[in-house]
Every structure is written in structure tokens, then in C-alpha cells.
Amino acid sequence: MRTTLLLLLILLCGMAVHAQDADTTTLRKAKDYLQAKKCKDVNRVLAPMLTETAPKPDALLIRAKCRIYHEGKPQEGMADLQRALDIEPDHFKVKLFRGDLYNDWDMFDRAESDLNDAVTLAPDSLGLIEALNRRAWNSMDLRKFQSAKSDCERVLLMDSTNRAALNNLGLACNDLGDTATTFRCLKAMVRLDPKDDVAWLNTGFFLG
């Protein structure tokens, strides 16, 4: 009896791993089609993961990007994102992406809510850095420069050469009246990349 149960358990685990591997392959193909702006192919390969009764959140996220960026269907795309969160409320990538969208659409308060969640849900240091950088940018749009400064400093503690954090820290400090830190950030960006157009442009702006 125990042997039978053990064999059944091994079989079920193997089936689960196979299904997970198949999903990973499908998502990789869909992302390639998304990058090539081939939304019909995106929908075709994602069809098994987008059944009406049990859609997968990762598949909904990719379809949402197609609808919003390439098909001119923002409402349908946002509905996909909401459905993904209804299924998996703590989905980091969906929160991060939707927060970024809200920022692009000048809906900064909604962006702040999603990006706060993304910072909390970040699965690793790379995800946390991305979420903090995006929240810092949104905080500057809200004129919350001290909050933006704090997020940038958190990023730089993890990655002292992060150019997005250096740039955002310089901008935030300029609005806070700390021009010394602003120029220190710009100098650091130029040292990292002497051909950094953003750093030279900002340097000219602050000097002018």
C-alpha cells in the first residue's frame, strides 16, 4: 500500500513539473511574439493558458501588454490585469506593470498604491531595485521628493552604480535644494559612462 502511494505521489509530482515546464516554454514563446508585436501569435500560443475558467495570471499579463501597447485596447488590457490580480492578489509583476502604466497615464495616486505593493512583494533584490526606482520616479511626479530620495538611496545601498537611481536621486535632491548631491550624482553617472547623454543634458540644465 505504501509503495503504491509513493509511486502515485512520484507520478503526480512528475506531471506537475511537466506542466510547469510546458507553461514556461509557452510564456517564453509568447514574450518573443510580444517583442515582435505579433499579437495574433501571442493569443494563439497563450490559448491553452487562457481558458475561461482557469486563466493563468502570467498569460493574462502578456495578453494585457499586447492589448495596451499594440492593439489599442487599453480597457481590455486593464481588465486582464485586474483578473490576474483577482486570481493572484500578490502578483509582483502585475502590480509593477500596472503601477508603471498608471504613472504613464498621469494617474499618480493609483500608481503609488500599486508601486507600494510592488516594493513589498519584490521576490528578490533585482525586483526590489526595479520597484524602488519606479516608485521614486512616481514620487517625484507627486512632488514627494524626500520619499523619492529615500528610495534612491535604498537602491544605491544595493547597487552603487545604478544609473536610474543616481539620476533620480540627483533630480530629487535638486528639488530639495541639495545641489551638492545633485552634482555628485551627475559626476558619478559621467564616470560610469562618459557618453551618457542624460547625464550631460542634466549637467547643462543645472549649470544653465
> What does each of the 208 residues of the chain score in pLDDT, given as a tens digit?
555 554 555 444 444 344 456 689 999 999 999 999 999 999 999 999 999 888 999 999 999 999 999 999 999 999 999 999 999 999 999 999 999 999 999 999 999 999 999 999 999 999 999 999 999 999 999 999 999 999 999 999 999 999 999 999 999 999 999 999 999 999 999 898 887 776 666 665 555 5
Cβ atoms 153, 184 nearer than 8 A: no
Please give the pLDDT value at position 200: 61
| pTM, two decimal places | 0.84
Residues with Cβ < 8 Å from 164, sequence gap 6 or more? 133, 155
- Euclidean distance between CA atoms 63 and 46, whole angstroms: 8
**DSSP designation for 48:** G
96: its cell numbers: 509593477
Helix, coil or strand: residue 208: coil
Pair 136, 168: CB distance under 8 Å: yes
The CB-based long-range contact list for 202-208 (8 Å cut-off, 24+ gap) reads 202/167, 202/170, 202/171, 206/174, 206/179, 206/182
Contact indicator for 158, 125 with CB cutoff of 8 Å: yes
Residues in the chain: 208
- Cα 100 vs. chain centroid, distance in angstroms? 7
